[in-house]
Amino acid sequence: MVKVGIIGGTGYTGSELLRLLVRHPRVTVAAITSRAEAGHSVASLFPSLRGRCDLVFSDPEGEGVFADCDVVMSATPNGIAMTHAPRLLARGLRLIDIAADFRIRDVALWEQWYGMKHACPELVAEAVYGLPEQNREAIAKARLVANPGCYPTAVQLGFLPLVENGLAEPSSLMASAVSGTSGAGRAAHVPMLLSEASESVRAYAVGGHRHQPEIAQGLSRAAGRPVEFVFVPHVVPMIRGIHATLYARLTDPSVDLQALYEARYRDEPFVDVLPAGGHPDTRTVRGTNLCRIAIHRPKGTDKVVILSTIDNLTKGASGQAVQNLNLMCGFDETEGLCDIALFP
């Protein structure tokens, strides 16, 4: 059994991580930390875990809190994992950061977008970007994994077959994506109150979202050259889920895109390409580690529209972190992640 420690397990990604790990057949959660909840039981904060998790929150600075662990997973806000990383790695532990501290390779760019000084820039170059469908072999060998963001996961998986094969004009990539309110985290925010968010759709961060440079970095890497990328996120009145509508101009409109996508993702356990003309929706991926994709060609144009859906807390965060954990530990990639979406 691999022993896992969790830093910051009181938010939505932390609770999702616990939901997945307490049922994982080859993992034991050995420690979980929270400054605010230290000394309180996990089940008192998350009643859904009563009878499944008997851990008590510890102070993350406590002596030997992760002494029995093999891997630590950080489910903290941005800027926290980087303060723990040097010490944890020096002790021989492996670290998966579910936040954004190690995702962007250009440290100055990261500091610009996240508004803080990076605490350990020397580790950024070592970190492996944890998109298994792109970096599976490197993830397996890594001691530090930067788990992708939720929007970047849906968008990159939707675009990858196009940009990898040079089939999208690099200046034409655009995404309009909607997210449920859980994407804003568990802290109280007036725009996320029921009476504020219900019965309304709202775009935000139109002039620049923090996930934009992460997506552009990944797509540029896949394309082998810089790409221009426009991204407009929206919040909609649902709890979980991301639906990304992606647009590009094709360099070769004669290519059979349905066959291309099916071939690219044929052996990927967590990417499901729907039959031609399909329309994925968020409820069919809720609580799962799946990304469902559909390809559409608007008639009489050289454009393509890709639809990509994920659960922002699972494939977009904690589920993907467990997928990365499986790769790092040599487990079957799907262990602990074979849930079927709840319906209705």
Tell me which residues are annotated as active site.
150
DSSP element (H, E) containing 175: strand 173-179
252/246 Cα distance (integer angstroms):
17
* Cβ 91 vs Cβ 98: under 8 Å: no
* Cβ 256 vs Cβ 311: under 8 Å: no
Token reading at 73:
């997973």
* Cβ 34 vs Cβ 8: under 8 Å: yes
**Closest to 282 measured CA to CA, from 252, 315, 251, 310:** 310
Token reading at 246:
């992606």
For Cα atoms 316, 321, 325, give the angle at the middle one, nearest 5 degrees: 155
79/164 Cα distance (integer angstroms):
32
Buried b vs exposed e over 144-161: b needs ≥16 C-beta within 10 Å?
bbbbbbbbbbbbbbbbbb
Q: Secondary structure of 280-322 in the HEC alphabet?
A: CCHHHCCCCCCEEEEEECCCCCCEEEEEEEECCCHHHHHHHHH
- Give me the sheet containing 291-296, strands edge to edge: 202-203, 229-235, 173-179, 242-249, 303-310, 291-296, 271-273
- Give me the sheet containing 2-7, strands edge to edge: 27-33, 2-7, 71-74, 94-97, 144-146, 128-129
The backbone torsions φ and ψ at residue 322, rounded to the nearest 5 degrees and listed phi first, read -70, -35
* Cβ 162 vs Cβ 168: under 8 Å: yes
